Amino acid sequence: MKKRVFSGIRPTGRIHLGNYLGAVQNYVAMQDEFECVYCVVDIHALTTLEDTHLLQENIREQVIDLLAAGLDPSKCTLFVQSHVPEVTELFTLLGMATPLSWLLRVPTFKEKVKQQPQNVNYGLVGYPVLMTADIVLYKAEVVPVGEDQLPHLELAREIVRRFNDIFGETFPEPKGRLTSVPMVVGLDGRDKMSKSLNNHIELAATPEETMKKVMSAVTDPARMRRADPGHPEVCNIYKLHKTFTPSAVDEIAQGCRTASRGCVECKKELGNAINEYLAPLRARRAEIAKDQAYLDRVIKEGAEKARAIAKVTMVEVKRRMGLL
């Protein structure tokens, strides 16, 4: 019997290269090896979104991106989080077994408080509990994650252990699975690629938009002139070349160090490589976006498949907790 995988992605905008390299390509690769449950986590998005007028559009755009990237509804379950209401019920019940002190120590919570001091809501504090509910509702054993999500996953494992100790063995402890490119640095060269920081490249961007973004990227800050020798190991563009032009990275590094290759040249080459890499995906995306009936069907059928699993889990959880 195949192990079950769960992972979710927040619909705060269209999927970008960081999402794709750090998670989505792993989603696709795992479809044949595991029973995969993938979710657009719209409730999670509410912890940071104060304006939700684009939420429904973002949800559909993300589903299109995921399908274009290679997710196959016949091989995996793809659905929208809020379409399976059992997750919020389990979120509440898991909260009864989760000490507040555990949640307050999570590094990403502290970071979010700094980023949005005007909106430190209960959902932001309880984010890891809802994440745990997402995973264990489907009794997933494997969770493909980026490095930044590992603290949340470890907390999910602690919540599972505590629940099982109190109420009896109910959930498996989920294990993380990192991709080969666990975190992609943004075009500013400082933080991870992120929509909120506007240092990203969307999968659905046009070739012209992609090239413009790449040309604006930060390179080696110590290389002020074309004639200055560079340090590729600290250059964000060089890091992306490792993914998109792997056969040329040694030549690129040598050219940078000897100043025989300039940053502009390096960026143009990367922009062309990214566009070539994404061309088939963008073509698939355009076709999927034309068929809204197909998209509706994928979302509806995905929720039905997910709810079938969720209902069984909730009966067991309620019995364990004395609610049935």
pTM across the whole model: 0.90
* Residues designated as active site: 112, 192, 195
- Two tokens at 249? 């990275």
Task: Please report the pLDDT score of residue 51 as a whole number.
Answer: 82
For the cut 70, the answer to whether the pLDDT of residue 182 exceeds it is: no
Q: What average pLDDT score do residues 78-95 get?
A: 98
Kindly state the percentage of the chain with pLDDT values over 70: 98
Q: Which residue has the higher pLDDT, 51 or 171?
A: 171
Q: SS3 string of the chain?
A: CCCEEEEEECCCCCCEHHHHHHHHHHHHHHCCCCEEEEEECHHHHCCCCCCCCCHHHHHHHHHHHHHHHCCCCCCEEEEEHHHCCHHHHHHHHHHCCCCHHHHHCCHHHHHHHHHCCCCCCHHHHCHHHHHHHHHHCCCCCEEEECHHHHHHHHHHHHHHHHHHHHHCCCCCCCEEEECCCCCCECCCCCCECCCCCCCCCECCCCHHHHHHHHHCCCCCCCCCCCCCCCCHHHCHHHHHHHHHCHHHHHHHHHHHHCCCCCHHHHHHHHHHHHHHHHHHHHHHHHHHHHCHHHHHHHHHHHHHHHHHHHHHHHHHHHHHCCCC
- Binding-site annotation: residue ranges for L-tryptophan: 134
Task: Please report the pLDDT score of residue 175 as a whole number.
Answer: 93
Residues 137-178 pLDDT 10s: 999 999 987 676 777 789 999 999 999 999 999 999 999 887
- Binding-site annotation: residue ranges: 10-12, 18-19, 134, 146-148, 184, 192-196
Q: What average pLDDT score do residues 39-68 get?
A: 93
* Confidence band for 44, pLDDT divided at 50, 70 and 90: very high
Residues 28-38 pLDDT 10s: 999 999 999 99
- Binding-site annotation: residue ranges for ATP: 10-12, 18-19, 146-148, 184, 192-196
For the cut 90, the answer to whether the pLDDT of residue 220 exceeds it is: no
Q: What average pLDDT score do residues 284-290 get?
A: 97
Q: What average pLDDT score do residues 290-312 get?
A: 98
For the cut 80, the answer to whether the pLDDT of residue 92 exceeds it is: yes
* Confidence band for 109, pLDDT divided at 50, 70 and 90: confident
Q: What is the mean pLDDT of the chain?
A: 91
Q: Which residue has the higher pLDDT, 70 or 220?
A: 70
Structural domains for the chain: 4-184+291-320 (3.40.50.620), 207-285 (1.10.240.10)
For the cut 80, the answer to whether the pLDDT of residue 239 exceeds it is: yes
Q: Which residue carries 């940053």 as its tokens?
A: 263
